[in-house]
Chain A
Amino acid sequence: DVKVTQSSRYLVKRTGEKVFLECVQDMDHENMFWYRQDPGLGLRLIYFSYDVKMKEKGDIPEGYSVSREKKERFSLILESASTNQTSMYLCASSLEAGGFLGDEQFFGPGTRLTVL
């Protein structure tokens, strides 16, 4: 079974703090993704990575950065947390395009971040 784990289920931080959200997958997947999910807005892609040390901006990268030093780990960093970054953050991974299920993504359980 593919397993995608996220370091925290719930997190409360103060405005201005630096926040690290960690994601680990155990199936040697090439691609990893960070989304945020907000009511009425669905999933929005923040950043993705298709290889170690490679990263690309998604639809809403402002205020975020990422790090992929190892294949299994993809970190999302909020340099200076703000209240509008209060959200559910979902990490996902996928094999690589062209595999049996092509682009199927496997999701972690999510981290609900509250910024006060």
Chain B
Amino acid sequence: GEDVEQSLFLSVREGDSSVINCTYTDSSSTYLYWYKQEPGAGLQLLTYIFSNMDMKQDQRLTVLLNKKDKHLSLRIADTQTGDSAIYFCAEGTPFGGSQGNLIFGKGTKLSVKP
């Protein structure tokens, strides 16, 4: 079945760039998402990319998509302590009569050291 893999932990220093990587298996995914979960809260959509795009930039965030290798990355420039959170990669896999499901990775916990 479909699978989304990402490393569980990443630690960076404040001001450095963070790169969170994700691989997925379903080549028919239409959308790929990055969600952010702050401590004690639900998930919030951070950014997304359509599967026909290679790159998307949104202020400090850069998403890179390599469809051939099924690899997605999220780069956070000038990482701040407020960026400390768990980041989930997800792919949209519409199918049959129950469209709308997302497949989530296990989440990468980003720790930002001052």
List the interface of chain A (C-beta within 8 A of B).
4, 30-31, 33, 35, 40-43, 45, 48, 50, 56, 90, 92, 94, 96-98, 101-110
Contacts and interface: CB of A to CB of B under 8 A. Distances in A.
Contact of A42 (B48, B88, B92): B88
Interface of B: 8, 30-31, 33, 35, 40-45, 48, 88, 92-94, 97-102, 104-107
Given A90-B42, A110-B42, A50 B88 contact: no
Contacts of A42: 88, 104-107
A97 B94 CA distance: 7
The 7 closest A-B pairs by CB, nearest first: A97-B99, A42-B106, A103-B92, A107-B42, A31-B100, A107-B43, A97-B94
Contacts of B92: 97, 102-103
A106 B44 CA distance: 7
A103 B106 contact: no
Given A102-B31, A104-B48, A109 B41 contact: yes
A31 B107 CA distance: 23
B47 to A, nearest CB: 11
Given A31-B100, A42-B105, A98-B99, A103 B94 contact: yes
